[in-house]
Amino acid sequence: MRLYELSEQYQMLLDMASEDPTNEQLQAMLEGMEGKIDEKIENTIKVVRSLESEAKAIKDEEDRLKSRRTAIENNAKYLKENIEIIMKRMELEKVKGQLFTISLQSNPPKVVVVDEFDIPQKYFVTPEPVPQLQKKDIIEAWKSGKEIPGVLVVQEKSLRVR
């Protein structure tokens, strides 16, 4: 019998007892039911504790795996950075292997602000409240061979694996 079924029966017996509390048979049934309900409640709490314990074990394992994943990702990143440094130092643009082609490819150019006050105003858009630098316009001017005071346009290379 389920806990909620016992609860319903217990409530019916309590209602009957409130009508005729002197009925000894009714009192005996109530006492017997009380033991069953106590047992069911305790067994249900045992299940709850078991589930909580299992959930904690799963969370601990998730934390352990997350830590392991982070360490592996950091190792892979370190090795790739090391290969990139070595290829740049040795001036290697491409290495063809049996499974992979590793190369240093140019990234899109990026604007590095050296002195904001030296940059011509035509490279700023003035929405309120703060003017914003139009880096796209600076890169276009750089591509056409113009030198813009106050900024450097840098085009770095990074490692690509195919």
Q: Kindly report, residue by residue over 101-115, the tens digit of the pLDDT.
A: 999 999 999 999 998
Closest C-alpha among 43, 32, 25 to residue 9:
32
Which is it for the CA torsion 36, 41, 44, 46, positive or negative? Answer: negative
Asked if the peptide bond before residue 149 counts as cis, ω within 30 degrees of 0, the response is no
At residue 1, the pLDDT reads 61
pTM: 0.57
| Two structure tokens written together for 20 | 């005729």
1: Cβ–Cβ under 8 A, 6 or more apart, which residues?
Answer: 36
Residue 96 confidence class, pLDDT cut points 50, 70, 90: very high
Residue 48 or residue 70, greater confidence:
70
Residue predicted with more confidence, 9 or 122: 122
pLDDT digits (tens, 9 = 90+) for 113-131: 998 888 888 888 877 677 8
* Bridge partners of residue 160, in order along the sequence: 103
161: pLDDT strictly greater than 90: yes
Ordered by start, the domain boundaries in the chain are 3-89, 94-161
| Sequence-ordered alpha helix ranges (H) in 90-147 | 135-143
Element (H, E) at 102: strand 101-106
